[in-house]
Structure 1
């Protein structure tokens, strides 16, 4: 999740591009930006909304030369009595809800109808009906919504979206960075008996693999993640139908997306005071990731050994200050959400984790929060990390114990059998 609301993810990618060995397991925020570069309108609107919401427009304007001038101009016109940031957030939010609604309506298999809320608003009484209950709408000003056709963009909104979309697709630096994510990234990675992925493996309430139906097919477990990986690449290459591009938005926030695994409540958080409507239902996986039997089932699904296997997970910030541990299921699952994003610090109490694997075992570094360079210099502070050994072997693992070692041994076996075939006259000597 390189693009998870940090100030300058573009600088991080520049640094990673210089590294000799990198692999990336895409997070939902990465998928969001990748979807934007695929030309998905809803992804583009969400990227802009997130940047405006977290006062992080520098990554767009300075990092990728994406101008927000068309948005700010329309925002000032629509909400002249609001601050520019508030006006821009409202303007892009309504654009998002409209294009999101259009996407959901043309893809009923996404099962995201619960996000179709603009047509649930009574624009006269300024109330909205959700699940049989009526709630007042905060800041009930919707100057660009036609109650008879609430998901239709106005000409001005369409112009803003077109201009921003053009800036995204024309950004040379952004294309280089998204190319890098595609070249070095994947939905998951199975390496040295470790299974790495960002979000979840969708599960039913009883802990079995959920069959997710998309494109008239059902997928589950490894098969589902393989489908996601293929679709994400097809969307960028533009080889197939627009459905692949639409799926990029589903992968960002779909209820059964392996990158998210929860139902987002963006509209409710913005327009409804009652926090009970903000609760985001999440996949059963997040309850079962502490169950050793379920973790073993997942490892077996990916043909990994149960005895020494690990699931290395991200996505969910570990609330250390509330006593939560990143190690689950007797060490089978390790949640190492980076947590470097400042937005998480109050929730977690730390600045994330780094997992280190060497020949003797596994070690976890817990990073302490860092305010800013000025304060650190003034107080002579440093970024501190607390080290914790998770697994310690009484011997050093060798190359032969790794996936690379297995490949080398297979090559040696092939050479040996080739030699035997030659010695037994099965292969003639070349002149």
Structure 2
């Protein structure tokens, strides 16, 4: 049960058990911040303390320290070191040293624990295998990217994992890639999601959301909330376009807030299109006239645009700012890695318009174009001629038109 983004309790009935398990949450009335839990779930009876910047420093089990960048720097006698992309690359202390290596897009590629290396192998964004000491184990993930089974080279199942709604597991957790594809830290009992640490037992982050609140999303006022309290539908987007040239801090904050919210919407729209496509029989089409292949094509374009948004600049995707003449809201390099936002446009800073523009330009990065139709470039929001071109665009051209694809995100 929840009021706004404040989760008051969570009840679970485990398979094979008749007794329900409930955790209750207590909040500070002044700050609306979690201060403790109670109940018969794993969280048990615990109190929570914070530092002056809103980071959880004590959960009744572990005491933690943070630096001025809100990065956890020490806990349980261990120190944590980060790289320039805010990724934890070293854990040292108590006779134990571990190193971590990431790809440009932020995927964990290699971990080393006291000289023992584990290599992680991906197919696109999906973890499919890990190699440790010349032994390869195949990983099977669910739609959220959480590993649910491990098999050996003969296909025999070595282990299975079952997740509760917010990511806690029925089985004992392991110090490896876990819920939604993020590294689980056995020492802390937390998932390391790069931007912040996440506690799957209570369904809360341990630090404030680094992106400010969004005027069109009431859940964003919950500074520690995990994916709008809807973990079956969303995963936490820990990436975004990197900050390029021309930005003031104020305008970048507006852009950054918009692109983070957009990531959730594009991911949701893509999943919806795929679900619709799966429900169509051969030769069938939707009420809008789209075939299964049309829906799949648009979902694929959204996924590619989302990959650019989630790049965080590490793969070369950057957003630049520029004052442009005319009504152009932004530009994107076709098949490239940069977009440019017109920060002098009247609608820049309007969260909905900014999100639509970012999505449109990300689809140019994904390779989509909008050639003229009946003499005008087809834009959903443009001159009369452009809007008529958009409205009368043939169905086979709608599938590759950035504004039509973005209309699946913002109907």
Bigger relative contact order, structure 1 or 2 (CA pairs below 8 A, ≥6 apart): 1
Please indicate, yes or no, whether the TM-score normalized by the shorter chain is above 0.5: no
Larger Rg: 1
Relative to the length of structure 1, the TM-score reads 0.24
Name the one with the larger strand percent.
2
Relative to the length of structure 2, the TM-score reads 0.25
Name the one with the larger helix percent.
1
